[in-house]
Amino acid sequence: MSMNNQGRPTAPAEDSRRRTVAPGTVAPEELGTISGDRGLDHEEALIFELGHGAVGVDLPDVKVADDRLGGMRRKAAIGLPGLSEPEVVRHYVRLSRMNYAIDSGLYPLGSCTMKHNPRLNEKMARLPGFGDLHPLAPGSTTQGALELISQLMTWLTTLTGMPAVAMSPKAGAHGELCGLLAIRAAIAARGENRTRVLVPQSAHGTNPATAAFAGFTVDEVPAKPNGHVDAEALKAKLGPDVAAIMLTNPNTCGLFEGEVKEIADAVHAAGAYFYCDGANFNAIAGKVRPGDLGVDAMHINLHKTFSTPHGGGGPGAGPVVLSERLAPYAPIPLLVADGQSFRLIEDQAAVPQGAKPFGRMCAFHGQMGMFVRALTYMLSHGRDGVRQASEDAVLSANYILASLKDVMSAPFGDGPCMHEALFDDSFLDGTGVATLDFAKAMIDEGYHPMTMYFPLVVHGAMLIEPTESESKESLDRFIHVLRGLATEARAGKTERFTGAPRLAPRRRLDETAAARKPVLRFRPDPLKEAAE
């Protein structure tokens, strides 16, 4: 096999299973192992099955004879397993090795923005002045934290061209809720009753869910065949009962909604508000200001655009920038600067004149740990780096689109895309290769699959977002692998696809059985318990 100068193969490895085995011997993989493990891949039991009465902390045994628990002392054991520190460490290290991660490979999940997570962010968030700071500590002891939030607010309002920002929402969907509640309050303050929210078909599921959560009815706006929202249909739906539209821009097809300003004007003329889903802000940060486009509210996923890690599904942070019209309704707490010092207004009744907070999103003041990481990232990049990152993300997505559209099918491939390249599964028609099998075959090639079956407006969607974090060499290798898979599929060679993955810690899992008879927690085997 040929290798490049980094020692990486320049062509897909020959399938090791096809190598010849001397007659009369058995290939090791068919032989299995005595342990059940395979080299570096260890099987790992549940922590509850590993416990044996050891303890992983050294704490004094303080007897509480005369407790003051009001007669509410626990009577039965909890049932937690006991393990020493080395056992716990090994358990979780072994589990970690069953995960794919952006640190170990390109993670092309469209709409999810799996970019590099700098470790400086982690180090800064762990400075005792941030990590070991109590949210209700006296204001005189938290000035640096408030100053940091204030700096981050400046970055967010400057990058978006918006006058205000609510910092407390804890993730994107929570930010959506914050934005819609501000809109609700603004409408109520005008003495109006508007109940309908327009949501394009291509929207993230959180948009309609949030609108319903906030007490609105959802009215879906169709997409045009070119992947853009149907602006005419949208305008036709506007009326005195419409509270807002929720538009993602760039949209989930990876396209910029060029008619956004006209849409915003029409929405405002109808007395409604423009909520922008900022999940894709990473395509335009440092180049386009949503405030210039007529946006009234937009959440910013700090865990996407500003690199705070996804952590296996969270935590995130979803500050919401607000227009002049919505700013008065921002929830408490509010941060105010008195000269050089900062203070939080946590009392609904003590807000400055003109402020009419709609309420409170959560206890305390938001995801400070994420704020530290995001500001660290912003200061590292600077405005020039943020702009370059957006350009590189868009360039990389277009490079993938241009390099794959002849072998895969790109429904909107005639023009450039933004930060993600959308394909569909029509290139698999008649090949005998199922869409999901194609995605799962990527796992055997060492890649996390792209986002599948989303957005819903494209049948068999495959959405690829490379982000700005990949080198050209990494992109070329990814393209090479996907071209190889697409070419084999189109040639009707189904072997690699059917039943994939084969080389992952687990093969295809039975999701139907999991949902039919849910097992959501470990319970000791009653027979084994009885025997003991």
Partner 1 sequence: MRYLPLTSEDRRAMLARIGAPDVDALFRDVPKAALVPLSAFDLPDTQGELEVERALSRLAAKNVAAGAAPFFCGAGAYKHHVPSSVDHLIQRSEFLTSYTPYQPEIAQGTLQYLFEFQTQVALLTGMDVANASLYDGSTATAEAVLMAQRITKRGKAILSGGLHPHYAETVETVAGLWGPVTRSAVTPGLPEDIVALIDDETACVVVQSPDVFGLIRNLRPIADAAHAKGALLIAVVTEVVSLGLLEPPGAQGADIVAAEGQSIGNGLNFGGPYVGLFATREKFLRQMPGRLCGETVDVEGRRGYVLTLSTREQHIRREKATSNICTNSGLCTLAFTIHLSLLGEEGLTRLACINHAKASSLADKLAALPGVEVLTQAFFNEFTARLSKPAAQVVDQLAAKGVIAGVPASRLLPHDKSVENLLILAVTETNTDDDFAALAKALQEVL
38 binds partner 1, rule: CB under 8 A: no
**CB-based contacts of 260: which residues, under 8 Å, 6+ apart?**
247, 249, 293, 294
CA–chain centroid gap for 3, Å, is 35
134 binds partner 1, rule: CB under 8 A: yes
Rounded Cα–Cα distance for residues 58 and 238 (Å): 65
CB distance 228 to 198 below 8 Å: no
Binding segment for partner 1 (CB under 8 A), chosen from 5-13, 16-24, 121-129, 487-495, is 121-129
CB distance 459 to 425 below 8 Å: yes
85 binds partner 1, rule: CB under 8 A: yes
352 binds partner 1, rule: CB under 8 A: no
Q: How far is the CB of 181 from partner 1 (least distance, A)?
A: 7
Binding segment for partner 1 (CB under 8 A), chosen from 23-31, 235-243, 263-271, 358-366, is 358-366
Closest to partner 1 by CB, 309 vs 328, is 309
Q: How far is the CB of 88 from partner 1 (least distance, A)?
A: 5
Binding residue for partner 1, selected from 28, 258, 432, 492, defined by CB under 8 A: 258
97 binds partner 1, rule: CB under 8 A: yes
Binding residue for partner 1, selected from 14, 29, 37, 67, defined by CB under 8 A: 67
Binding segment for partner 1 (CB under 8 A), chosen from 2-10, 386-394, 425-433, 484-492, is 386-394
Q: How far is the CB of 420 from partner 1 (least distance, A)?
A: 12
Window 160-199: residues binding partner 1 (CB under 8 A) = 170-174, 176-177, 181
User: Residue 327: left if φ>0, alpha if ψ -120 to 50, beta else—which one?
Assistant: alpha
Q: Which residue has the tokens 């609904």?
A: 348
CA–chain centroid gap for 362, Å, is 20
263 binds partner 1, rule: CB under 8 A: no
Binding residue for partner 1, selected from 239, 314, 432, 492, defined by CB under 8 A: 314
Binding segment for partner 1 (CB under 8 A), chosen from 12-20, 21-29, 238-246, 257-265, is 257-265
CB distance 203 to 248 below 8 Å: yes
Rounded Cα–Cα distance for residues 327 and 329 (Å): 5
Binding segment for partner 1 (CB under 8 A), chosen from 21-29, 265-273, 422-430, 463-471, is 463-471
Closest to partner 1 by CB, 123 vs 224, is 123
Rg (CA), the chain: 27
Rounded Cα–Cα distance for residues 322 and 164 (Å): 5
CA–chain centroid gap for 296, Å, is 23
Print burial letters for 34-61: b (CB count within 10 Å at least 16), e (below 16).
eeeeeeeebebeebeebeeeeeeeeeee
Rounded to the nearest 5 degrees, what angle is found at the Cα of 321, between the Cα atoms of 357 and 310? 110
Closest to partner 1 by CB, 22 vs 510, is 510
Binding residue for partner 1, selected from 14, 265, 292, 324, defined by CB under 8 A: 292
Q: How far is the CB of 23 from partner 1 (least distance, A)?
A: 28
496 binds partner 1, rule: CB under 8 A: no
499 binds partner 1, rule: CB under 8 A: yes
Q: How far is the CB of 529 from partner 1 (least distance, A)?
A: 15
Binding segment for partner 1 (CB under 8 A), chosen from 11-19, 237-245, 394-402, 480-488, is 394-402
Number of alpha carbons in the 13 Å side-chain half-sphere of residue 208 = 11
Closest to partner 1 by CB, 20 vs 510, is 510
Q: How far is the CB of 20 from partner 1 (least distance, A)?
A: 25
Closest to partner 1 by CB, 362 vs 491, is 362
Closest to partner 1 by CB, 23 vs 352, is 352
> And the tokens for 485?
């898979």
CA–chain centroid gap for 426, Å, is 27
335 binds partner 1, rule: CB under 8 A: no
Binding residue for partner 1, selected from 15, 28, 508, 525, defined by CB under 8 A: 508
DSSP 177-223: HHHHHHHHHHHHHTT----EEEEETTS-THHHHHHHHTTPEEEEEPB
Rounded to the nearest 5 degrees, what angle is found at the Cα of 78, between the Cα atoms of 74 and 82? 130
